[in-house]
Amino acid sequence: MDLDALRFANFKQLDDAVEDWGHIVRNLKDLAEDAEKGLHQAANKADWAGENSQVTKEFIGKTAGEFQDAHTQAQTIHNILSDTAGELKGYQKQLNEALDRGLKKNLTVMDTGDGSFTVTMNVHPDRAAAGYTPPEHDEQDVTALKNEVEKILTAATKSDNSAKTVLTAIVDQTEYGFSDATYKDRDTAEAAVEEADAMAALAKKNPEKLTPEEFDRLSAGLKKYADDPLFAERFATDLGPDKTLEFWAGINDPHKAAQLGQARVDQYDDLQRSLGMTLATASHSDSAAMTQWKGRMISIGDDPVGGQMGPMGFQVMSNLMRAGDYDDQFLKSYGTSLMATERKLTGNGEHANLAWQHMGVDPWLNRMGDDSGDDPLTGYLKALSSSPDAATDFLNEEYLPKGGDHKEAVSNFTYLFEDREWPKETDLKGDDIHPGQNNLAMAIEAATTGHPAGELPTADTPAHNAQQAKLMASVVASISDDPDRLTEHSYMSDSIGQMASEYLPDINRASTDVKPDPNSADWKQIEKLFPVAGSSAAMDHADVSRFLIAVGQNPEGYSAVEVGQKAYMANLMDYHMNPDLPADHRYGQNMENTITEISRRSAEVGGCLAIGRQEAVLGPAKEADDAYNHAVSQWQNVANGVVGTGIGVGTSFIATPAVGAVAGGAAGTVSSVVLGELFQDVEGSKLEDSGLTSAQLWEDSRERNIALAQKAATEAAKAHHVSYADQVGEWARYGTQDGFNDASTDGRRMADDLETEIS
């Protein structure tokens, strides 16, 4: 910065900009609050249907989020401008004070341009006015003034340049819209950028020369700043995609980083996690440099890293995808290229992919789990489990298009779930493990439900769209076609069970045997009996029955659907008994038929689950029966927190507070009362494993379903003060009995491959 530029700077325009941004921040705060309350929250409460539930509601949510991001970005810009203006004014004051002190010693500072200046004598004694003796100074005074001015100009230059750097970086984060990066002042943002440069420099070092102390600093820096957008983008682009892969592959290569590995290998998991999360944060940046980074990373996916014998880029990068939430579009493009390489290495899926089979000499690329990390699909699918939209797109994408030897297109889901020969994987103990297929199940869970795997739906979770519903129908049909695809891979059951619990309206619809024809009067009634917000999964009755029996053969899968169905049944009875339900939403039957039909369909689901439980306990698997009770009881704490939004309801109705709810406390609902009885009954209905018969298991399940259906109907009737309250229990009992008979028939006719006798 030139001396005169700071000395004579007029800060009025900068002050005006700070004030203007202050007004913008306040206005955007009001707009963001209005958008959240008036748009987003209102949209979540609205009764959406059809395309509106899939497109408009999501658009409104994103729009409201943009207002919030606009406010966040404006606040950050205001903070940085205000901070910089204050600092520059301070440096101007320091400069003028230094110049004044120099004049008192007969020294003046002259701007010579390009940031340079000179310190000279102000008045030479030979040219001083008569009678005036200029102040004396020595060489030390000249040097001190020069150093002080130079220090002030350097600091002011840094303040000015860093403000430009961070403001540009913030604006560049998004090509359109606004960034959610937030910083309280310029120093905080500048520190993030400077630390990114320092961390990238460490990661660029030859792994053989990276010391344990440098490793510690790198790991700590990435952990601290992993969620910081400016840091992440700067670090990733400074390091570059090639060096990113070389770094992770290099430190895991015992031939290149033996000394570091001996000292720090037990901390590699933390570094892998922090590095992955940093890159995930960076992937959301739309800066030109980051866009190039993402494109380059995908293009070198099938190139060897660190020499011709090194692992492929996909193998290295996919292990860094196990942590963090990556950008959806990057994941989609990456997945398309990854599967193209899979096709190339397997002859279009005709044989195993030996290139991704771990060999004894291969470096251990994954430090966050038991598997070696050689199969890049394992890490990539883990990334998809946190990114529902990308997961839906990827699993529905064609692996093999229709044509040639393929009469029908083969989706990525079909190939991975049914056809792929997964590389054999063992842990460090030598035990067989299946991380890839387990991550596949989690990716399918995210893809069909619209929320990350392992979580439950919330009020903000969008209704199922057509692509999600289509995939769910494919999952059900695939497991029905070959139940071993699930029963022989029981570790998938928790995800598959959760998916089923969120498609219970669709499952109940399928059990009616009414074909989903929008022009059919019967189907229109089924749509009213089991209302669905969004798209419905079109499933065959026989497929649903076989699917539920397969899910029921694992305690975790069983419990997710069992608890979900009971909550759904209770909510559904509450919904239909509500006298305020609009006429065009009502099922076209009297209330007796309505309650009977709801109970019957719910009982058929429960009966199919009971058959699966019976097969697991009495069949070859010899699963302990109390494991089922334990799995159901584990849902108690979870269910208590989500009953208000519904477990797997998939509809827009909200349960009515139950009669007898404590005033001023948490309002109970019909579903919460029913679930409370379910959990209590579980504790009191344990059957001894020894001597169990299929009749005992069947009868126990049937009696519990009858009791819970009666409780649901009775509580709903009380809540709405209906005149037929004393009759609903019998209606529910008749329906439940018929439903269990239906399930028994399903088992005999549709699941004749079962080994145990169906009562």
Within a domain: 460: no
Tell me if 469 is assigned to some domain: no
pLDDT value, residue 255: 85
Q: What's the domain count of the chain?
A: 4
Q: Is residue 198 part of a domain?
A: yes
User: Are the C-beta atoms of residues 77 and 167 closer than 8 Å to each other?
Assistant: yes
Spell out the residues 6+ positions from residue 169 whose beta carbon is closer than 8 angstroms to its own.
Answer: 189, 193, 230, 233, 234, 287
The answer to the question of residue 87 being in a domain is: yes
Question: How many of the other CB atoms lie within 10 Å of CB of 619?
Answer: 16
Task: Name the one residue in this structure whose structure tokens are 């009616």.
Answer: 512
Domain boundary at 455, 485, 518, which?
A: 455
Helix (H, G, I), strand (E, B) or coil at 589: coil
Element (H, E) at 425: strand 425-426
Domain-ending residue, one of 273, 300, 327: 300
Q: How far apart are CA 447 and CA 437, in angstroms?
A: 15
Query: Is the domain of 334 the same as that of 243?
Result: no
Same domain, 584 and 720: yes
Q: Tell me: the pLDDT tens digits for 567-586?
A: 889 989 998 998 888 888 89
Local structure of 689: helix, strand or coil = coil
Q: Are 212 and 260 in contact (CB under 8 A)?
A: yes
For residue 674, what pLDDT is reported? 85
Q: Are residues 446 and 581 in the same domain?
A: no
pLDDT, one tens digit per residue, over 104-163 is 887 888 888 888 888 887 766 656 566 666 677 778 888 888 898 889 888 887 877 777
Q: From CA 718, how far away is CA 692, in angstroms rounded?
A: 38
The whole-angstrom separation of Cα 191 and Cα 194 is 5
> Which residue, of 455, 484, 514, is where some domain finishes?
455
In this structure, are residues 669 and 658 in contact, taking their beta carbons and an 8 Å threshold? yes
Distance CA 394, CA 411 (A): 9
Q: Do residues 705 and 685 lie in contact, with contact meaning Cβ atoms separated by under 8 Å? A: no
Q: Both 238 and 344 in a single domain?
A: no
For residue 109, what are the β-bridge partners? 119
Contact 186, 166 (CB under 8 A): yes
One domain, residues 125 and 167 = yes
Do both 276 and 370 map to the same domain? Answer: no
Statement to judge: residues 376 and 512 lie in one domain: no
What's residue 645's pLDDT?
40
The rounded distance, in Å, linking the Cα atoms of 10 and 359 is 69
Which CATH number goes with the domain that contains 27?
Answer: 1.20.1270
Q: How many CB atoms lie within 10 A of CB 133?
A: 10
Flag residues of the chain having pLDDT under 70. 18, 21, 23-25, 28-78, 123-134, 167, 169-187, 404-406, 459, 639-668, 683-691, 750-759
The reported pLDDT for the residue numbered 697 is: 85
Instruction: Tell me the β-bridge partners of 110.
Output: 118
Q: What is the pLDDT of residue 603?
A: 96
- CA distance linking residue 587 with residue 191, whole number of Å: 63
Note whether 325 and 294 are same-domain residues: no
Specify whether 354 is located in the same domain as 331. yes
Q: Which of 300, 383, 399, 299 is nearest to 346 (CA)?
A: 399
Give the per-residue pLDDT at 58.
55
Q: Write down the pLDDT at residue 460.
A: 72
Whole-prediction pTM? 0.80
Q: Is 687 helix (H, G, I), strand (E, B) or coil?
A: coil
Task: Tell me: do 507 and 649 sit in the same domain.
Answer: yes
565 occurs within a structural domain: yes
Tokens 């076989």: give the residue.
Answer: 546
Is residue 755 a part of any domain in this protein? no
Q: How long a stretch of residues is the chain?
A: 759
| 396 in the same domain as 357 | yes
Q: Do residues 250 and 347 both lie within one domain?
A: no
Q: Is residue 736 part of a domain?
A: yes
- What pLDDT sits at residue 37? 57
**Residue 323: which domain range?**
309-455
Q: Is residue 464 part of a domain?
A: no
